[in-house]
Each structure stands twice: as C-alpha cells, then as structure tokens.
Amino acid sequence: MGPASFHLLFILFELFQLFCITSAVKVENFTLFESKLTLKAHTANIIPCMFHTRRHLNPLKVQLEWGKIDRNEYVPLIHLYGDHVRKASSDYGDKYQVFIPEVSKGNCSLVINPTEITDSGTYQVRLTIVGKLYQPTPSIEVEVVNQPKGESRGWFKKKTTTVPPTTTTLMTTKAKKGSAANNNESASDVIFHQLDAIEKKIFIFIIVIGVFLSIAVMAGVLLIIKLRQKSKKGDEEEG
C-alpha cells in the first residue's frame, strides 16, 4: 500500500467521522411543552424543558442559557457551559438553577426559587451544541399568582430553605395498606421515562449504520488498491 492509498484511507476515515459527529448533535423535540404556564408565588417552581439527541452528548460541548424578555429586550438569567454556571447578576444568588448533570441528557428545565409576582413574563431558552445555536428558540409566557394552597396550575413544590443546584423532585403519594408513603421521583425521570425505548432503538440503528459504512469504506479502499496494482502490473508488461 503506497502513500497515495494511505492518504485516501485517511480522507475516507475523516468523512466517516464527520458523518458520526453530525448525527450525534442532531436535536429533536426541543420543547417547553406549553406556551403558557401559571405558577404559585413564594414557592420553588420548574419551567419544564426537554430535548432529545440521537446519541449522548459530551457535556463540555453543550451550552444552555435561560433568559427573560424585559421591555422587548432579551435579558440573560443563567448560562451553563459544560459544568460551569454563570449568573447574569450576583443579585440573583441561587434563584435560577438548572439540572447541571442532566442537561447533556436532554433536561433543559429551569428552577426558580423562590418565585415572586415580579417573575411573570416571557422566558426563552437557548441551546447551543458544538457552537451551533438551535432555532427557533422556544419561549413560554409565565404568570405568577397568589393562590390558596393546592390551586396552582404550574409545576411546583413546597418552599424549602434551600434547593440543591443539580436536583429537584416532584412529590407523589401512593396508598399502602395501613399507611401512606411519599415517594420522590426525579423530574428528569418523569420527562424521559417514555424515551428510553426510543433511545435504545436509535442507538442500535446508528451502530448498524456505522458498521455498514466501515465495511463500505474498507471495500472501497481495497478495490482502489487492487486497481492500482493491476494498472501498475499492466504498465510493467507493456514496458
């Protein structure tokens, strides 16, 4: 195998890698679920957000930003790049949070704790993967209201003194014989529970495609080498 053949093999390998990378960052079902959301004031709330990719993402290649439209201008609230979180203002403290280890898996939800009446407005989420901003950027109209307990229509949980920056839970109650037990279920599990089977099928499909492409590349390289050897042998016989 001469230098030209090695060079051709390298080019084909790079094209194969490019195909894999492009497939890995394809985003599907990037959504906030609803166009409007009503939240209860003075509690910790979640604005649910989800996206799906054909393959697991490298967290260092993912950027997530939440912002609010104020007086027709976009104002950033929180920005995540890899595992680094930047708040737009130190005054926010831990008011705005995201699920850091879950973002690369598709959980782009925003936690607001505590939620105040002044938090009403239009929120927008921006997702950037490998330098590409996915558009159109989803937005949602949020209304924060004072209501008696149990009447909030938004996603929320009872107010606590602290909310961990990487996890939050939704409370569910299940009846048991003689007693009732409270079970905490991760919000990310609720969002992605139905996607597990789809992810497995997609992953298997991509592996199969990758195997076929690898075989095709190697067959092409071997065919070119064989043709070159045949051509060289013919030249020698003519000489």
Residues whose CB is less than 8 angstroms from the CB of residue 5 and which lie 6 or more positions away in sequence, other chains included: 221, 224, 225, 228
Asked whether 69 and 122 are in contact (CB, 8 A), the reply is: yes
Which helix (H) or strand (E) segment holds residue 238: the answer is helix 196-238
> 3-state class of 219 per DSSP?
helix
Place of tokens 């490019």: 18
What pLDDT score was predicted for residue 164? 45
* pLDDT category of residue 89 using cuts at 50, 70 and 90: confident
Alpha-carbon distance of 230 to 234, in angstroms, equals 6
Among candidate residues 66, 107, 64, the one with its CA nearest the CA of residue 84: 64
Task: Give the number of C-alpha atoms closer than 13 A to the C-alpha of residue 91, restricted to the C-beta side.
Answer: 1
What is the average pLDDT score of the chain? 76
Q: Is the pLDDT of residue 170 over 80?
A: no
* 13-29 confidence digits (pLDDT tens): 555 444 444 444 688 88
- Among 12-26, 90-104, 205-219, the range scoring the smallest mean pLDDT is 12-26
The DSSP line for 46-109 is EE--EEEESSPPPGGGEEEEEEEEETTEEEEEEEEETTEEEES-GGGTTSEEE-HHHHTTTB--
Q: Is the pLDDT of residue 69 over 60?
A: yes
Sequence-separated contacts (24+) of 93-97 with Cβ below 8 Å: 94/162, 94/163, 94/165, 96/66, 97/163, 97/165, 97/168
Whether cis (ω within 30° of 0) applies to the bond prior to 136 is: yes
What pLDDT score was predicted for residue 98? 97
* pLDDT category of residue 232 using cuts at 50, 70 and 90: confident
Residues whose CB is less than 8 angstroms from the CB of residue 133 and which lie 6 or more positions away in sequence, other chains included: 126, 127
Alpha-carbon distance of 74 to 66, in angstroms, equals 10
pTM over 0.75: no
What pLDDT score was predicted for residue 190? 45
